Structure formats: C-alpha cells, structure tokens
A and B are shown apart, each in its own frame.
Chain A
Amino acid sequence: MPVRNFSIIAHIDHGKSTLADRLLQATRAVSDREARDQLLDSMDLERERGITIKASAVTVNHHYDGEDYQLNFIDTPGHVDFAYEVSRALTACEGAVLVVDAAQGVEAQTVANAYLAVENNLELIPVVNKIDLPAADPDRVAMEIEQVLGLPAEDCIYCSAKTGQGIQELLDAICKRFESPRPSQIEQSRSLVFDSHYDDYRGVIVYVRNFDGGLKTGDRIRMMSTGRTWTITELGRYTPRPEKVKSLGHGEVGYLVAAIKTIDDVRVGDTITLELDPAEEPLPGYEEPQQMVFCDFYPATADGGSGKKGEFEALREAIEKLRLNDSSFTYEVQHSEALGFGFRCGFLGLLHMEIVQERLEREGGVEIVQTAPTVTYRVKTTSEETIEIHNPADLPDPSQIIDILEPIVKIEVICPEESIGELMRLCDGRRGEFRGQVYISDNRQMLTWEIPLAEIIYDFYDKLKSITRGYGTMDYELIDFRADRLSKVSILVNGEAVEALSLICHKNLAEQRSRSILKKLRKQIDRHQFEIALQAAIGGKIIARESIKAVRKNVTAKCYGGDVSRKRKLLEKQKAGKKRMKTVGSVNIPQEAFLSILEQNE
C-alpha cells in the first residue's frame, strides 16, 4: 500500500485541529457519532487554548485513483517555542498541508511554519480554510500566500473544515502531490523518534518514523544518542484508537512501547536502530532542546524561613509529574531569602513557560508565585571561559568579565499598515534593529527585526497586540548570541545590596529602568521608624536613588472600650505581616516587592 506521511501546519486558530478531525471523519477513521472536536488534542489545556502542544500521529486509509493509500498524519505543535519539535515532526514527513484562515490571511506563524517545512524539503499544499465564514476572502488570501511564500495562488485548495467542502479534494491532493517515503539508504534499520509521551501504565510511548528498514515486536532496539537498549513489547498505530501491529514497515509511522520508565531515556530527534545489526550513523539533525527563558516558581503560600515544607513538596511533586511528559523544561531547587524554597525552571520560550505554569496549577493543584522571566546570558571571563548564567545573582565579579553576550532573536511581525509607525518606535526603544519589510496585501505588511530576547520576554507581545488593536501577529526565532553594553544593576536598601533584586540591563537603559524599579519598591515597602535609602548601582556608581521617609505616627488612639483581645489581634496581624517579610539590614521588604519589581512595564 502506498504510504504518505504528512503534517498540517498553521498559524494558531486557523483551524488546523478542526481540519484534522474532518480528515479523520472523511476517511471513516472516526464515525460521525464519535467525532469530537479536535480529537487529536488530548489534553484539556490544549483544547482550551486552541493550541496543540504535543505531536501525535494518526494513520488512516484513503482510496484514490483505484488504489488504497495509507495516510500517516503527524500532528505538530503550532508555536515556535516548539520549533524543534515541529521540525522533528516535519522531518518525519514528505509533505505538509499549510492551512491559512480565509478571513485572516497569512500570519506570522504561517510564515515561520512554512519556512520550517521548506527547510525540511517538504512539498507544501496550501489550503485556504474557513471559506464558509462571511468575512472569507479566499482569493485575496491565495494571493497573499503567493506574495509572501511564493506558492502559486492557483495551487491553493479552498475548503471548509466545518462544512466539509473541499475535504475530498484535499485528500486526493495529499495522495497525488506528496511523495512516497524515500527508499532505504542502508541495510541496517533506522527509525526517527519524533515524539514521546508518558503513560501511567505502559511507561513511555515512543512515536517513530521508519526511514531505513522496519521494526517488529520483540526486536532489541538501541537509542543511538545514549546507547541504551530496550526490547519492543508492543508496536502499533493510532487510527486514532491505538491498534497493535506485529511490525511497522519501511517508511511507516507508529508507536512503540518497550518498558521505558522515564521520558529522559527517550530523546526526541534520536535515532533507533537494531541492537543485533546496528547502523553506524544516526539520522541527521539531532540536537538537545535549548532552554531560552528562565523563571522561578515558588509555592504561593511560601512562608519565608518558617520551615513550612508542605507546599514546596506539593510543587516538587507536580513538577516531577509534569516532567514525565515534557522533557523540554528543566528545573532545579532554588532558595530565595524572600520567597523561600522554590524552583528555577528553564523553558523553550514564553508560551512554553505559560503552558507549564498553567499545567502545574491545573493538573498539579498547586498555586504558584512566578517571578519574571529572564534569559540565558553567556559571560566571557578573563580566565577565557564562557559561562552561561540564568540569574543576575550568578554573575561573576565585574573585574572578571570581558563580555556579556545575550540571545538575539529575529522577530517577524505581520500587522496592519497604520500600526507600523508605532511598532517601529516600540522596537527602537527595545534595542531592535530593523531588518526588512515585505508587502503582503493592500494594507498588511510583514516587518522583520533583530532584537534581544530579553527585550521581548516581559510585555512585548501585549504591547504589540495593543498597538495593532489585536491584528498584529508575531513569531520569533533565536539567531545569535551577541555582546552588548550589558551590566549588572544592583539594588541597595540602606546601603546593602539585595541580590534577589539585581538585574542585567543595557547601560543606556539602566538609569530609566532603575528609576522605575526604585519607584515601585518605594510603594511596596512600608515606612519604617527611620528613613530608608533605596539606590541602584552599577559597580560602585549610584545611578538612581529614592528614599522612604521615616514613619511619623503609628499608634492606635483608642482602646476599644476594654476590648483588649481585639487590639492585640490587630497588632498580631502587623507582627505576622512583618514575619513574612525579608529583612535587609533592619528594613522589612514584603514578598510582593520582589515580584512587582520584576514587571518591567515602564
């Protein structure tokens, strides 16, 4: 049976999952009665957010031109944070269906995903979806696809995943236009791991695409990056219900179970070969996922220093459990004098961070205090080392620093023309370098900047959305680490540096940022019985200062007609509040100050 391996790629909300469901229905893989919306997204969170986080693969059959085809449909995450996973999923395919919303047109992630597919040498079938919408303008959208991506407008298939219009045509095109899997290049067996997930009963379920040779139950397999070996206990395909098979042939896609206990034993992008007759070289392109964004998670009710471990343990359990299914975030125990015990976590990107936080709270039932995200810096030291740091407090002494390099991303923004001016100003203020402008349609353009990641991780996306009144879309991609005039700004409270408040910042922006931070701190710290000096410093040089005047009066006038208990309880409340604070010198700093300070919306 001829095999077609393909993915559907799209900008978020352009109807990818609905289209996938409709394809399953049209091939009778799912009966109409069984059809649920977005069948492929198994997690509630994915369903709610309308995004697909983890890839899975479904096999269906389609009859075309007198022949039965096996269609292996590999689902991909829809966001660039998961670019590596998308890229692995695409590697497993020969073709990709590029879905574009007939009303909204080409958006930033449309472009990013299309580029990824092209980089992976995939055939693209552009699909204009949602043509049933009143605002649909399929011809204009087809022209945009031609304009931006160079795919001829007449190649576009118009369809509506909702009504089913154009679906048969699309299935036919998949059989006709996508290529068969390439023939085996070597005699030994090689399969690509393009995804995995953890199942409570069976351990890790590994998704594979056979490139050379095939796999069968009972095979002793070896993971080529680690050299570890396992025995296949189960092979199968999702149709979309799991169906066990004895073997998976050349070019085919399916899952395997091999009593693998932890997801860390399975690396997406790794190559599986047979232990008895192993391949010498793995399939090309495996790399470790790179965490780019870091933040701390603390239990929300952390009681600084009082040794209350319950919430921390609950958070640890939730993190460990989530990690079973997502090996792309990292965590390590962190202790903050202000916030107690927590974890410093690394993520592929901003969305990834948000998703992890939400899943911890929802699935793990823990409440989390999240500090503001920071990026990874590379520091070149006088001892000719390059160290990576994720926390300003870890910076070496300034005398040992030659250069601080920061991650630079290329961002592509598609927006209405009238927002361009304001967007330019936004990016200028964030050290962005304008790189180009592409006309998309009458009133929309695609703009490109290179910009430090640190500048976009706080509130950039919100600002972009408000400037473009919701119409702007953005995608970003890490391109480089570059040195800039970065320095560590220390925050001093009554002359004492508070490490948890320090930040890394560009020298030109340091003064302005420091001033805004000190202003926030001034609001958060109560007046004390003495004046408090708040200062920001680079090295020994003070660049901003504020002061909190001494409290003038804090004495309860009346005594509540002898209701002494009440008065005592009021004071006890003050006392408890004081206990939860971090004391620097003799200044009490509330927890909130440590969090608010990290919001950088000037």
Chain B
Amino acid sequence: MGSRIQLAQCTPDQAKVPDVEPGGISSFLAPTTPVEGLYVHVPFCRHRCHYCDFFTIAGREDAFDAYVDRLKSEIRASASCIQGPLQTVFIGGGTPTILPPKLLAEVLQEIRSALPVASDCEWSVEANPETVTPEIAAALADGGVTRVSLGAQSFQPERLKALERRHDPATVERSLQRLRSAGIDELSLDLIFAIPGQTLAQWESDLDIAVGLGIRHLSAYSLIYEQGTPLTRRRDRGEVAPIPEDLEAAMFEHAIRRLDAEGMRHYEVSNWAIPGSECRHNLLYWRNQDWWPIGPGASGHVQGIRWKNVPRLGLYLEGQGLPPVTRPEQLDEDGRIGEAFMMGLRLLQGIPVQRLESLLACGDRSGARRRAIEGHVADGHLIMDAVSLRFTPRGLMVADSIMVDLL
C-alpha cells in the first residue's frame, strides 16, 4: 500500500500520462459528429514567458518539419470523426507564426482539403508581432486566414520586459500594416494589464495606442499568477509584487469606459469588438458548443465530452493519426448545467431567458441555483429580465465569486 502511494507520487506529472490510447477518443463518440469549430495548437515559441502556463516549447526549431507532417496526419485522421461544416478554425499557440511561411501554408491547406470547412468559415491565427514578416502575412492571406490576433501585450518597453516579451512595441503597428496589405482586415490585439509595476497612466496610454491602430477587436487580460509558473514562484518568494486589487479594478473599469467610447462593444469579460467583429471561435467556447482539438495540449469539447490531447511533443511526434488524450471527462447533467452558467455568464449579453429556463428546469441543484440567482439579483450583481440573465457592471467585477454559487 505504502509503496503504491509512493509510486504515484514519483510520477512527474500525472497530466502527462495518457488515459486513452492514440485514437481512442473516437471510440467515445458517435461515428461522425457535428462539430462547429476546429482548434489547432502550435506549441512553439522563441522564448517561454514566465507567466505563461499553456503547453509551449522554446528552442525546438529543428522539430518544425516533423511537427507539421504530424499535424497533417492528425488532421487527415480526424476527418472521419468530424461532420461539418466547420464554422471556425482557430490556430493558436504558442506562436503559430513562428513556423516558416511554407509550413504554415501546408497546415492551412491540409485543413481546407481534408476537412469539411464552411465557405464563410472564420479562420483565426494567433501571432506575435515580431514574427509577422511580409512572407508570413502573405502565407496567411493566401491560406484563407480572415482574422489575426496579435499578442501586443503592452506598449511600454519596461512592462514588456516585466512580462519577458521580447518585441519592440513599434513592431505592432508594422505587423498590422503588413497584414492589412496582405488583405486581412479582421485584426485583434491582445493586451495585458495588472503587470507588476504598471501604473494606471501607463495602462491608459496602452489603450490609447491600441485604439489608435484601428483594430476591430481587442482582448484585455489581467495578468494571472498561474500555479506552477516561474512568475508565481517569484511572487511567492517576494521577488515580484502584484499590483493592488483596487488598482487592478480601476484598470479594468477604465478599459470598459475607454473602449465603449471608441464604439467597441464589451461582449465578453475580457473581449471587445466593433459589432460584427466578435471572435466566432471563442463564442463557441462560451456557448458550450462543439469543437475538435488538433495538436498536443489542445482541448476539445464534443457531445458533452471534454478532453485534452496529451501535452508531450516527443510522444506526439512518435505517433500517427489521432493522438493519445488525457483527462476525458463527461460531466453529469448537473455538472454540465453548472458549466453552462460559468461560461454563458461570461458573455455580457448573458444567458437568454429561454435557455435559462431550460437550464433551471433540470439538475440536482436547480432550487439552490434559483435561490442563488435571486440573492445576487437582490444584491445588484445580476439582472434577470425578459431578455436574459446577465451581470450588472458591479457584478461583472466579481464574476468568479458569483459563478461559484451557480456551479
């Protein structure tokens, strides 16, 4: 008994142990599955930033060719599982645009030829400013990419340094120009606030610069001290001081005001868009719809099952076709309802009344959820009217505290 426990503790990371053999996930699912989205993960980065807890790898340029070959094999294999048409394709990372233009083009081509993609499909790619060369921009546009999300993070060199981001702020504008010239108009920026040492004035300036660049979409994330990241360890050792909560709140409130004044609609906790330019792929997540994951570390959700491809490059490259997955999870009805609240309330339009009623009609905790909602409506954190259940501006600030009661 004792030795068994020890063995388990010696396993370096349980998440790395495959729970399902390669290809096994397809046995969970109906033969062909209506799937609305596709997520493709490219884990490579020039440098692994200390706050990042995604599955990323630095310094493996040697593996690019093999990786793209492997991705193509997985894409072909998934074709038998996916019944389209795919409404969205999202290539994220890591840094997808770290791949040479030729390889990036191959990935895009493989998706288009192997999978049932809708003609008006949204094709999003994440990019880091320093990687967007004219060749990359051309490869993306030629491959049918309609939307690029650029990781600007900040325009203050000092703050970029604090995040371990290496680009020159000026490259952001240059990259946007290159993408526009190539014909991609749906452009988004990612910004991070609550960076150690950041002042409200610096954040205001970041937003001013961002809106001045004529983008159609903006994601503003507060820096999160994720478990297990070097940044969090530094904070725990007292080497990095998080900014005060009140300042973080003020930054968030400023973003809401400033972007609204620019005509960008706050449509999700961290996302703003000119109406019509919302990221359709991310909306799938929030609406609990179905998407298929490609690449190690990618998560998917199909037919009420959530799973994640095993995040190990070596293991991935060794195989063919569908990769091994970890943590397949099928929640019971009550769990799925909790998730629907957790995700749905992130959208500012909230959960439409009809859907709300069907959610509240079932599940073990329907009575408790109804009471929790009534309590938070009375406290002024939620609004429930003829249209939807949604956060008030005040409730949005403490959304997690409230969602906990609805899980």
Which residues of A are interface residues toward B (Cβ below 8 A)? 527-530, 551-565, 567-568, 571-572, 574-575, 578
Contact of B407 among A528, A557, A563, A568 (CB under 8 A): A568
Interface centre among A527, A529, A578 (most CB of B within 10 A): A529
B83 at the interface (CB under 8 A from A): no
Chain B, residues 384-404, CB within 8 Å of chain A (1/0): the string is 000000000000111111111
Chain B residues with Cβ under 8 A from A559's Cβ? 282, 285-286, 343, 346
Interface contact B397-A565, CB-CB below 8 Å: no
Contact of B221 among A529, A558, A563, A564 (CB under 8 A): A558
**B204 CB, min distance to chain A CBs, angstroms:** 17
Residue of chain A at shortest CB distance from B53: A560
Q: Give me the 10 closest cross-chain CB pairs, A-B, nearest first.
A: A552-B249, A557-B221, A553-B249, A555-B399, A563-B299, A557-B222, A575-B404, A554-B400, A557-B270, A554-B398
B76 at the interface (CB under 8 A from A): no
Alpha-carbon distance between A486 and B339 when the two chains are bound, in angstroms: 54
B379 at the interface (CB under 8 A from A): yes
Q: A551-B245, A574-B404 are in contact. Are A556 and B224 (CB under 8 A)?
A: yes
Interface contact A554-B221, CB-CB below 8 Å: no
Chain A residues with Cβ under 8 A from B399's Cβ? 554-556
Chain B residues with Cβ under 8 A from A529's Cβ? 379, 381, 398, 401-402
Chain B residues with Cβ under 8 A from A575's Cβ? 404-405, 407
Alpha-carbon distance between A575 and B365 when the two chains are bound, in angstroms: 14
Interface centre among B293, B299, B308, B404 (most CB of A within 10 A): B404
Interface contact A552-B245, CB-CB below 8 Å: yes
Alpha-carbon distance between A557 and B308 when the two chains are bound, in angstroms: 21
Chain B residues with Cβ under 8 A from A530's Cβ? 379
Chain B residues with Cβ under 8 A from A551's Cβ? 245, 398, 401
B291 at the interface (CB under 8 A from A): yes
Interface contact B224-A564, CB-CB below 8 Å: no
Contact of A561 among B39, B327, B338 (CB under 8 A): B39
What are some 18 contacts across the A-B interface (CB < 8 A)? A529-B379, A552-B246, A553-B245, A553-B397, A554-B401, A555-B269, A555-B397, A556-B400, A557-B220, A557-B224, A561-B41, A562-B298, A562-B301, A564-B339, A564-B343, A565-B327, A575-B407, A578-B404
Chain A residues with Cβ under 8 A from B403's Cβ? 571
Alpha-carbon distance between A554 and B381 when the two chains are bound, in angstroms: 13
Interface contact B407-A571, CB-CB below 8 Å: yes
Which residues of B are interface residues toward A (Cβ below 8 A)? 39, 41, 54, 92, 220-222, 224, 245-246, 248-249, 252, 269-270, 282, 285-286, 291, 293, 298-301, 306, 308, 327, 329, 335, 338-339, 342-343, 346, 379, 381, 396-405, 407
Residue of chain A at shortest CB distance from B284: A562
**A529 CB, min distance to chain B CBs, angstroms:** 5
Interface contact A553-B306, CB-CB below 8 Å: no
Known: A552-B397, A564-B339. 9 other contacts (CB 8 A): A552-B246, A552-B398, A553-B398, A554-B397, A555-B400, A557-B224, A560-B54, A563-B299, A571-B342
Chain B residues with Cβ under 8 A from A574's Cβ? 400-401, 404
Q: A558-B221, A561-B39, A571-B407 are in contact. Are A552 and B300 (CB under 8 A)?
A: no
Alpha-carbon distance between A578 and B402 when the two chains are bound, in angstroms: 12
Alpha-carbon distance between A552 and B251 when the two chains are bound, in angstroms: 11
Interface contact B39-A565, CB-CB below 8 Å: no
Alpha-carbon distance between A502 and B283 when the two chains are bound, in angstroms: 51
Interface contact B407-A572, CB-CB below 8 Å: yes
Chain B residues with Cβ under 8 A from A565's Cβ? 299, 306, 308, 327, 329
Chain B residues with Cβ under 8 A from A558's Cβ? 221, 224, 270
Alpha-carbon distance between A572 and B246 when the two chains are bound, in angstroms: 25
Interface centre among B252, B379, B403 (most CB of A within 10 A): B403
Alpha-carbon distance between A567 and B291 when the two chains are bound, in angstroms: 17
Alpha-carbon distance between A65 and B306 when the two chains are bound, in angstroms: 92
Alpha-carbon distance between A178 and B327 when the two chains are bound, in angstroms: 79
Residue of chain A at shortest CB distance from B126: A561
Interface contact B329-A571, CB-CB below 8 Å: no
Chain A residues with Cβ under 8 A from B343's Cβ? 559, 564
Chain A residues with Cβ under 8 A from B224's Cβ? 556-558
Alpha-carbon distance between A575 and B397 when the two chains are bound, in angstroms: 18
Interface contact A564-B397, CB-CB below 8 Å: no
Alpha-carbon distance between A558 and B222 when the two chains are bound, in angstroms: 8
Chain A residues with Cβ under 8 A from B246's Cβ? 552
Q: A529-B381, A556-B224 are in contact. Are A561 and B404 (CB under 8 A)?
A: no
**B210 CB, min distance to chain A CBs, angstroms:** 16
Chain B residues with Cβ under 8 A from A568's Cβ? 335, 338-339, 342, 407
**A565 CB, min distance to chain B CBs, angstroms:** 5
Residue of chain B at shortest CB distance from A556: B400
Interface contact A561-B92, CB-CB below 8 Å: yes
Interface contact B407-A561, CB-CB below 8 Å: no
Contact of A571 among B92, B249, B404 (CB under 8 A): B404
Residue of chain B at shortest CB distance from A565: B306
Alpha-carbon distance between A528 and B39 when the two chains are bound, in angstroms: 37
Residue of chain A at shortest CB distance from B281: A562
